[in-house]
Amino acid sequence: MNKVFPFDPPTPLPIPLYLHRVRAGFPSPADDHLERRLDLNEHVVKHPSATYYVRAQGDSMEQHGIHDGDLLIVDRALEAINGDVVIAVVDGSLACKVLDLRRRQLLSGNPQFPPISILEDMDLVIEGVVTHSLRYHRCSV
């Protein structure tokens, strides 16, 4: 993980949102019925002054759909609850993990990475709840 920096509220950028969904297996003709315009920032950022972006690094969260290089949207205004994907500072290092309050652990989404037990003497700070992730799908040339 890289350092965490809050961002300034973005300029609105409404983009067309079409009524019909796109099949992700068998192609069908595109439908040109516009439902409304959607500002992605408005859709994914609920608390602008408490939200920041950070890039995921590594493969420890792949089973939770978070891959190396994904852009994570993190909300510091949300109270982390059991099962949330969080950004945590564990003994000075940033980590993206699933918060398991019942077993007092931080869990990975990859069996190669063991759980991190949350101990009483541990220096642990939850820096925010990951609300969304964005992945770049175009192949690099």
pLDDT digits (tens, 9 = 90+) for 72-96: 999 999 999 999 999 999 988 999 9
Mean pLDDT of 105-126: 95
Which residue has 């175009």 as its token pair?
A: 138
Domain boundaries, the chain: 8-44, 48-141
Of 46, 60, 93, 140, the active-site residue reads 60
The answer to whether 46 is a known catalytic residue is no
Bridge-partner residues for 134, per DSSP?
71
What CATH number belongs to 48-141? 2.10.109.10
Catalytic residue among 97, 108, 133, 140: 97
pLDDT tens, residue by residue, 47-56:
988 999 999 9
Which range has the worst mean pLDDT, 27-31, 36-40, 53-57, 88-92? 27-31
What is the pTM assigned to this prediction?
0.78
- In the residue annotation, 133 being an active-site residue is answered as no
- Token output for 79: 């109270």
Nearest to 2 by CA among 63, 84, 50, 69: 69
User: Is pLDDT above 80 for 57?
Assistant: yes
Structure tokens at 120: 């009483």
Tell me the C-alpha distance between 76 and 88, whole Å. Answer: 11
